[in-house]
Structure 1
Amino acid sequence: MAVRFELHKNEKGQFHFSLKAADGGTLLSSEHYESKASAENGMASVKKNSVLPERFEKQVASDGRAYFTLKAANHQVVGTSPMFGTADKRDAMLAMVHAEAEHAAVHDHT
């Protein structure tokens, strides 16, 4: 299954990206960046850090839904997953990001 980055610009001129699964589902989303170059650096950071299992943090929200974050070497979050109904689903999506994000193509919609 091939994953891809989707780069977008919002109405305020900010840039953000999502890592999408082949079925279009979101695996990971970024913060909003003031510049396109910063968003591109964020995608590069996801590619670099996703190959390192220790950079992922498994989380559980207060309502019991599971999600994960991906952090850079400086411990800054570079991406956050959506909420999943179960820890098993979260873990499967995390494994997909870990296995495929490094080689994900970028689809620039800016």
Structure 2
Amino acid sequence: MKSARISELLKTRPKTNLYWGKYSVGAQKTAEPDLGIAVAKKLVRRAVDRNRLKRMIRELVWAAQATTVNNDVVVKLKKPIGRQTRGRLRRKEKEHLRSQIAELI
């Protein structure tokens, strides 16, 4: 997804919950739906955890798009994770984040 399209999507009103913001708008007529993921280094310190979260988001969004109307989507993390676990993403927190993103989609 190009940066101009991401900027356009971020101007729309997000659907949010505690940890995530989802920005969605109908796909452009000539293109397939795109997915943008924003997981900032300030919010998730370890690259391993950032990549794990991105994979989890891709999996959940693609599964949802297979059964629903196709939209361009940007998913953005709003709050830092791993404060109690020295910056590491633990299984309990990962499952909590997974349920939160599943609610949005």
Query: What's the TM-score, normalizing by structure 2?
Result: 0.33
Which of the pair has more CA radius of gyration?
2
Higher strand proportion (structure 1 or 2): 1
Larger RCO, structures 1/2 (Cα 8 Å, 6+ apart): 2
Query: What's the TM-score, normalizing by structure 1?
Result: 0.32
